[in-house]
Amino acid sequence: MLVTRREMTSSRLREFGTTIFAEMTALAQRCEAVNLGQGFPDTDGPASLLAAARQAIDAGANQYPPLAGVPELRLAISHQRASRYQTEYCPDSEVAVTAGATEAVAAALLGLCEPGDEVVLFEPYYDAYAAAIAMAGAVRVPVLLRPGRAGVFEFDPAELRSAVTPRTRLILLNSPHNPTGKVFTRAELELIASVCQLHDIVAITDEVYEYLTYDGAEHVPLASLPGMRRRTLAVSSAGKTFSVTGWKVGWACGPEPLVKALLAAKQYLTFAGGTPFQLAVAIGLQQAGAWSAELRARLNQRRDQLRYGLEAIGLPSYPCQGGYFLQADVRRTGFADAISFCRYITEQAGVAAVPSAAFYDRPETGRAIARFAFCKRQEVLAEAVARLATAPWHATSTAC
Ligand code: PMP
Ligand code: GLN
């Protein structure tokens, strides 16, 4: 049989297909739609940060960095975790720089899991987690987040407790959370911490939106709770904090054995990369507080603009306390299903969003929810709402 006629993708990855972000962005481009699907800002990060990367290139920082990252950045990360969260990490042995948070999570899972190990995570979840768990030969065990009081997503503590079995290796937590906009409360984190401690489980925390919280919600790293530093790998990234998603500079901090396990996998994935960007982020992190305060204020305003705009045209959204996504319920438009809704608005109204069903193991639960990114310029959001306002919801979809 011809090689090309066989299924080439391994059975571990077959179920994942193309990511929803690539799919919706391609459709958005074909339809010349305003892209509120994929979450990336449409303005550049701070000019002096961009200049620092250019200067690093000009100064010749163009060869491989060390496996764990340039010392300047590891030191800056260690200072940031200490000053912001009072959690100390040795820059030489407890910090690893990665190709974005995505590689940090994937390398941690590959480095820590045995085949068949179980990974507990909250559903809906960022789609890369499921694929990385599968690549590690591990099994995902989702715990459902459902809209609770005032529409804020919550989990049932009993469901979390019963998700843990003797095969559970770790809990993968994302807060502030994509796609729900939930910021886990201290009480919720204490409960998660108690489960980790009771069952001797490791935690990986994806904190890429650590600076982007609103309405007084506070980001509390799980590692900062008593007894958790020694069993947690805290992951973050420059992409969201500095609006440089294409730089792919991420990192993980944790006790040496966890960082070593991550590096054991990472050295055979990318090894290391992005030297000039790492050096620029090292400088940027020293000013992250001031820069992110400005970004947070701007995003807060954008969130409200989109929220009110969507609500006025029959798309009420769930509360968003962090990150840069709004989840809207599409049922008032007459669509029961956000997959056809998203396709319809991209093709017919020229506005792209992502169906949240893509973030669920049980897509039925997120069936009526569409995710809109609000990390866009004011005029872009206004244009999106104006386009949606003129869409005849009842018309049937035809391809562009
Ligand atoms: N984690 C979450 C929760 C995300 O939303 C994203 C995408 N922005 C990432 C990780 C990816 O981060 P990076 O681009 O640094 O790999
Ligand atoms: N994190 C971004 C989002 O949730 C997209 C990242 C990607 O395209 N893989 O939209």
pLDDT digits (tens, 9 = 90+) for 159-199: 999 999 999 999 999 999 999 999 999 999 999 999 999 99
- By C-alpha distance, which of 130, 175, 172, 173 is closest to 152? 175
The domain boundary residue, chosen from 267, 287, 307: 287
Tens digits of residue pLDDT in 274-297: 999 999 999 999 999 899 999 999
Whether 360 is in a domain gets the answer yes
What is the model's pTM? 0.96
Mean pLDDT of 9-30: 88
- Whether residues 97 and 109 share a domain: the answer is yes
Question: 180: CA distance to ligand 1 center in Å?
Answer: 14
- Whether residues 159 and 79 share a domain: the answer is yes
- In what helix (H) or strand (E) does residue 123 lie, and over which residues does it extend? strand 118-123
Q: What's the domain count of the chain?
A: 2
- Whether residues 177 and 80 share a domain: the answer is yes
Supply the Cα-derived Rg of the chain in whole angstroms: 21
Does ligand 2 lie within 6 Å of residue 131's CB atom? no
Whether 204 is in a domain gets the answer yes
Whether 397 is in a domain gets the answer no
Minimum CA distance residue for ligand 2 atom 2:
39
Mutate to test the pocket of ligand 1, among 103, 236, 240 (most ligand atoms within 8 A of CB): 240
Does ligand 1 lie within 6 Å of residue 126's CB atom? yes
Tell me the torsion sign for CA atoms 260, 262, 267, 270.
Answer: negative
Does ligand 2 lie within 6 Å of residue 19's CB atom? yes
- Whether residues 266 and 303 share a domain: the answer is no
The domain boundary residue, chosen from 241, 267, 287: 287
Range of the structural domain that residue 305 is part of: 3-45+290-389
Task: Please report, for the domain that includes residue 265, its CATH number.
Answer: 3.40.640.10
- By C-alpha distance, which of 226, 287, 283 is closest to 249? 283
The angle at the Cα of 324, spanning 320 to 329, to the nearest 5 degrees, equals 50
Token couple for 305: 């603009």
Question: 140: CA distance to ligand 1 center in Å?
Answer: 19
Instruction: Band the pLDDT of 397: cuts 50, 70, 90.
Output: very low
Whether 124 is in a domain gets the answer yes
Does ligand 2 lie within 6 Å of residue 38's CB atom? yes
- Whether residues 117 and 67 share a domain: the answer is yes
Question: 176: CA distance to ligand 2 center in Å?
Answer: 14
